[in-house]
Amino acid sequence: MKLWSGTINKSLLSNLIAVFLIVLGTVLPAPYARFAFDTGLFSLSGGLTNWLAVHMLFERVPGLYGSGVVQIRFEEFKLGIRALIIEQFFEKADLTAFFSEGKASSELFRSRLNEILGELDLDNAFDSLVDVIMASSFGNMISMIGGKDALGPLKVPFSNKMRDYFQSAFADPDLLDKIKSQLSNGLSDDTIREKVASIIDQRLDQLTPQMVKEIVQTMIHKHLGWLVVWGCAFGGVIGFAVSILRMG
């Protein structure tokens, strides 16, 4: 399985400490050996379990129900993005009036399109994605690090990354020429909307589940890394308590 570079420090360190306690438990004299071994074993179990859960949030694991929730719910996410772009594409600027005034040029159109994409309100897209994650089987685990409130600071970076992607994706001169051609043909508003929506759909089809997964994973991997740390910590406490009970 893949370890993410951003979480490897605290995640790997936590698990290594747990392994060290297990090894220590094999060399210490009684009764200390039992405390070290049980604490390390339960700690490692908790850390690896949470690490697997974080991995399953983004990757589909055959036979494990609920894994890959970000990719499974990708189509819902993309439909929301599509509606958002089309709505703001036609509401934030009167493009038909813009072209009817005879000012249409590739540079002006590029500037206007970049302006529209730059003003996309992606807060709702982020909120819906967080809702999907929190409603999944991993919602309770994410609640351990503060739930939605803990992920809130990621809204702006997420929106910026998605906005940069769309500005890059829609900057293709051929795409701009297609949209400009449809808008300058003197068609009805409904026809223009239908044709431009079709062109936008073609570009959004290039947004794959893997792209969304990488964007989201990059944004929140540091926060989710704490799940591994807390898994080790809680597991260690349970293991230590078990050792005490055995002593009794």
Over residues 186-216, the pLDDT tens digits come to 556 666 667 667 767 777 777 777 776 676 6
Average pLDDT score over residue span 24-37: 90
Average pLDDT score over residue span 169-179: 67
User: For residues 223 and 97, which has the higher predicted lDDT (pLDDT)?
Assistant: 223
pLDDT level of residue 7 (50, 70, 90 thresholds): very low
Q: Is 186 left (phi over 0), alpha (psi -120 to 50) or beta?
A: left
Per the CB < 8 A criterion, the answer to whether 216 and 126 are in contact is no
User: For residues 182 and 242, which has the higher predicted lDDT (pLDDT)?
Assistant: 242
Question: Whats the size of the chain, residue-wise?
Answer: 248
What is the rounded radius of gyration, in angstroms, for the C-alpha atoms of the chain?
25
Please write the tens of the pLDDT for every residue from 100-129.
Answer: 554 455 566 667 667 777 777 777 777 777
Tokens of 232: 């080790």
pLDDT level of residue 3 (50, 70, 90 thresholds): very low
pLDDT for the residue numbered 145: 64
Tokens of 75: 């189509």
| Alpha-carbon gap, residue 204 to 199, rounded angstroms | 9
Per the CB < 8 A criterion, the answer to whether 121 and 88 are in contact is yes
Task: Give the orientation angle of helix 106-118 with respect to helix 173-183, to 10 degrees.
Answer: 100
pLDDT for the residue numbered 239: 93
Tokens of 161: 């990354």
| Alpha-carbon gap, residue 159 to 162, rounded angstroms | 5
